[in-house]
Structure formats: structure tokens, C-alpha cells
Amino acid sequence: MAMNSILPDAAPIAGGVLGRVQYWFACFFAVGWTGVVCGGLYYQFVEWEYPCPLCIVQRMFMLLAAIGAGVIVRRGMDGTVSGRDYMMGWGLSLVAVMAGSFASWRQTMLHILPGDKGYGSEVFGLHLYVWAWILFSASVVAIGIVLAFAHSTADRALPPSYRLPGQLVLGFLGVVIAINVVAVFFEEGFHWFLPDDPTRYELLYDLGILD
Amino acid sequence: MDTLIFGGILATLLAVYRQASRTVVLGAWFVMLVAVILLMAHHITSSLALDLSY
């Protein structure tokens, strides 16, 4: 068997009807995690809750996972996604969701004992970090399924019309990361770390706007 | 630190968008991952004290 025949780039340039599933799933994955971070921003600015340090860490892992899928989305915008690109993207996302799963598990365990009310609001009966743990774990399974069916879902050639959706996905991700840069700067101010239980936007006090 | 890391994550996305070399993208992404893990470790200051027997 020739060596190049077992390499991913030897897969068909364009497969069957399912050949573009991975590209669209990468878009969904990136938008999905970005949307989850938007949920955190909703509770921060609409419900006026202050995200704790571990909440912020989980947002970072979510955005790193989205960037992994973003690698595939970006390559697809130019019409060619190699096997290396698919593997690199999903590999990065897998590492990020595993790390995020640990962070959210840790925060869940902090509040697992009977009588502990947990940190922040509940959504459908579960706290945000419990949902994060569920979604991180589900993402591991999803990436496994995607990789298992890569032979028929990962076309190397994509149509030029995929450029616009790719730009929208990466633009959405970029805007949400930028909002987080500003939001956490306000919460942290000119300090190296967030307090364990934040109760105010430190920057406003550091600048003397509030006393 | 959190602000700097979010800034680094934004820069990593820009590297992806601008089609920087694979080495740059992988390097930036993993530097950010290590930074977030170190930040998480900084905030883990005690055991869970769940009295687990295993």
C-alpha cells in the first residue's frame, strides 16, 4: 500500500451528499460555543451578575474550542480544506473542551454538597457551570462522531459561496471575544487577578469614577 | 491577567483569519491554552473537601 493512500489528504476531493457536513458542523460548533458565551454575557449584563474567576476560565476554554473549529471554517472560505486542516481544527477543539470539562467539573464539585445554593443563577434547574460541564462533555462525543465519519463527511473542495457564512461565523466569534476583553477589563481593573467572589467593576473604582 | 489572556485569544483568532502559518496558529493557540490552565491553577487554592473515601 502506498503511504500516501492512508493519509487524510488522499480522501476524495468531493464526496457524496454528506461531503460538506463537517464544514457546516464546524460552523455550528463555533457559533454554538460563541452563543454559550453570549449566554454568560446575558447573565452578566442583563441579570447583572458578576462572573467568578472559574466562570471566566470556562469562557476562555469555550472560545479556544470555537477557534479550533474556526480553523476549518477559515480554510473552507478559500474553497479548500485539507485533511490536516480538519484534524488540526478538531484536535484543538477537543483539547479545549477536555480542559473546559475539568474546569466546569471542578466548579460543580465546589457546590455539590447538600444545602449549598451554588454560584449565580439557574437555567432550567441547573447552574451555568453545570450546563457548561454537560456541553463540554457532549462536545467530546460530538467530535468523536465527526472524526469517525470523516471519510464521507469531509470534502476537500468546497464551493466559493461558503465564503460569506464563514466570514459571518468568524466575525461573530471575533466580536464576542472583543466584548469579553472589555468586560473582563472592567471587572478586573488594573489588577492581575479577579477576586474569588467579585462584587463590582474594579476599573470604575481604579479610575476614581466610583468611590 | 484575564484581560491579557482574552486579548491573546483575540490575537489567535486574527492569526487564524489572516491565514498565518500553521506553526504560528498552533503556537499562539497552545500558549493561550497553557496561560488559561495556569490561571485556573492559580484559582484552585484548596481541596474539594468532599470527604470522599476513594
ipTM entry: 0.92
Whether the Cβ atoms of residue A13 and residue A156 lie closer than 8 Å to each other: yes
Lowest mean pLDDT among A4-13, A39-48, A155-164, A193-202: A4-13
Give chain B's length. 54
Q: What is the distance between the alpha carbons of residues A46 and A98, in angstroms, rounded to a whole number?
A: 29
What letter represents residue B41's amino acid? Answer: A
Q: For chain A, what is the mean pLDDT?
A: 90
Give the model's pLDDT for residue A30: 98
The reply to whether B46 touches chain A by the CB within 8 Å rule is no
Are A57 and B43 an interchain contact pair (Cβ–Cβ within 8 Å)?
yes
Closest residue in chain A to residue B10, using alpha carbons only: A177
Q: What is the distance between the alpha carbons of residues B36 and B39, in angstroms, rounded to a whole number?
A: 5
3-state secondary structure of A80: strand
* Inter-chain Cβ pairs, chain A and chain B, closer than 8 A: 92
Closest residue in chain A to residue B12, using alpha carbons only: A67
Backbone angles phi, psi at A126, to 5 degrees: -125, 145
Element (H, E) at A126: strand A126-127
Whether the Cβ atoms of residue A167 and residue A77 lie closer than 8 Å to each other: yes
Each residue's pLDDT tens digit, A122-148: 888 899 999 999 999 999 999 999 999
